[in-house]
Amino acid sequence: MTYVIPPATAIGVVQLRVSQLDRSIRFYEEAVGLRLVRREGGAAELAAAQDGSDRVLLRLRELHTDAAGNAASATPPGRRPGAGLYHFAILVPDRRSLGLALRNLIRHGVSIGQADHLVSEALYISDPDQNGIEIYADRPRETWRRDANGEYVMAVDPIDWDGLLADAGDLPGNGLPVGTTIGHIHLHVSDLAATERFYNGVLGFEIVAHMQRSALFISAGGYHHHIGLNVWAGVGAPLTPAYAPGLDYYTIVVPNAGADADTLSTLQSRLEAAGFKPTRDAATSGAPLIVHDPSGIELWFIAA
């Protein structure tokens, strides 16, 4: 029987490497609409601005030197990326919230890309280190369509920019609202076939869409995608080096109750049987199960 990861599985926290922590905190607070929860040394944690629970969505870690010992600097615009982050995606709870986010980005002079994906409407920006960010709102799930192969029909159509701003109206914008989450993450990978075997065959994510032979979208519980995977940085692209801005790791939250109480143990056994070497970090809250995918990208499994 084919293993399927529990349907309540979701993306949790994303941790990024940045070159100037103060600058990044200002950007994520002022332009994106997050709120600084805590800062210690060269690290910071941020949550949705209006979420009093302090549910952390983003962690930032400041780089100090590059491979040659020089002071770290922002990734030059247009530099060919390696395996790692394409973008992480902040999901807001409704279209009005997306309109408010758009209005705030315009106010701060941020360069904005956009797309109507049919299942969602999305804004695309980059932080000062060229880490990619998507801010999006889903359309109602009952409107999502599947093709003859059972895959979701998605597109890259122009967004209704004026309609989003009209939905925002004159409402005050006080940052991202309660209910904001990390909806998905999209990664550059080195080998799409090996990546599919890992995420689908070993971890049990379901394939929900392809984009020709260059990208793959997977999810749990019938979502349009929790993880996007592409070879747009080039087949065989090396992992973005740890001394450069980019993705440190991301977390996948799995349920830990009832029939799903042993999900971490199941995943650990499956990973070990497939030749991967997961570890458990007992010193970290939640004792995450840590593994690297075939491109070397680090992911943490955490029990909800």
Q: How many of the other CB atoms lie within 10 Å of CB of 96? A: 17
Domain count for the chain: 1
Range of the domain at 78: 10-303
Residue 2 lies in a domain: no
Residue 4 lies in a domain: no
Distance, in Å, from the CA atom of 251 to the CA atom of 11, rounded to the nearest integer, reads: 6
Joined tokens for residue 5: 């990861």
Q: Which region holds residue 274: left if phi is over 0, alpha if psi is between -120 and 50, else beta? A: alpha
Residue 127 lies in a domain: yes
Residue 74 lies in a domain: yes
Sequential pLDDT tens for the chain (304 residues): 689 999 999 999 999 999 999 999 999 999 999 999 999 999 999 999 999 898 999 999 999 866 565 655 555 444 567 999 999 999 999 999 999 999 999 999 999 999 999 999 999 999 999 999 999 999 999 999 999 999 999 999 999 999 999 999 888 888 999 999 999 999 999 999 999 999 999 999 999 999 888 999 999 999 999 999 999 999 999 999 999 999 999 999 999 888 878 999 999 999 999 999 999 987 777 789 999 999 999 999 999 8
Residue 296 lies in a domain: yes
Distance, in Å, from the CA atom of 231 to the CA atom of 194, rounded to the nearest integer, reads: 12
Residue 204 lies in a domain: yes
Residue 3 lies in a domain: no
Residue 98 lies in a domain: yes
The CATH code of the domain that includes 236 is 3.10.180.10
